[in-house]
A = this chain, B = another copy of it.
Amino acid sequence: MATARFQPRRSVQQVEEGAELAPRFGPDGLMPCVTSDAGTGEVLMLGWMDAAALALTLETGEAHYFSRTRQALWRKGATSGLVQRVVEARIDDDQDALWLRVDVAGSGASCHVGYRSCFYRAVPFGRDADQPLAFTEDRKTFDPDEVYGDAPNPTRL
């Protein structure tokens, strides 16, 4: 198993300035992962990985996440076909967050609602802070009902 590659965390110096992968997962065993489009730089989603998802992502070069709703390992695109091929992976200073730059297969979408990016609404701020959210994409790239059928929606209230 590729998690054998993960090193124990011995010092701040090692974690911040070293060349060993020594990831830190939260109390729930998960690490946040920012995924952006390698071409446009647009942030597509904020996902979560456990050790197995991180290991599989690095091993296969395809993004794997851990679904908090389903509490299960999740190969992105397994249902939708919208596989994310890793172009570059980066770890942050204290090694508790990942950034993936990816190429997305098919329509290029990454959001279960049907949009390209999960971040399809801008939040007004400053003097406009009382304004409603503004949609940044004017149409969906696929029909979620068609793609996911009656699979339960992952959004929790």
Q: Specify which of B15, B90, B157 is in contact with A157 (CB 8 Å cutoff).
A: B15
Q: Chain A 60-94, CB within 8 Å of chain B: the 1/0 string?
A: 11000000000000000000000000101111111
Identical subunits present: 2
Q: Could you say which residues of chain B place their CB within 8 Å of the CB of A24?
A: 156-157
- Asked if A105 lies at the interface with its beta carbon under 8 angstroms from chain B, I say no
Are A126 and B61 CB-contacts (below 8 A) given A15-B155, A20-B132?
A: yes
- Asked if A99 lies at the interface with its beta carbon under 8 angstroms from chain B, I say yes
Q: Could you say which residues of chain B place their CB within 8 Å of the CB of A91?
A: 119, 121, 123, 133
- Asked if A111 lies at the interface with its beta carbon under 8 angstroms from chain B, I say yes
Are A123 and B153 CB-contacts (below 8 A) given A43-B43, A99-B43?
A: no
Q: How far is the CA of A97 from the CA of B129 in the complex (A)?
A: 18
Nearest B residue to A122 via CB reads B90
Q: Specify which of B32, B34, B61, B111 is in contact with A125 (CB 8 Å cutoff).
A: B61
Task: Provide a sorted-by-A list of 24 A–B residue pairs whose CB atoms are within 8 angstroms.
Answer: A5-B129, A12-B157, A16-B155, A19-B132, A19-B134, A19-B135, A32-B46, A34-B46, A36-B41, A36-B43, A40-B41, A43-B43, A43-B90, A43-B99, A46-B92, A58-B126, A61-B126, A90-B119, A91-B133, A93-B113, A93-B118, A94-B154, A94-B156, A97-B118
Q: Which 4 pairs of residues, A with B, have the shortest CB-CB distance?
A: A41-B41, A19-B132, A46-B97, A90-B119
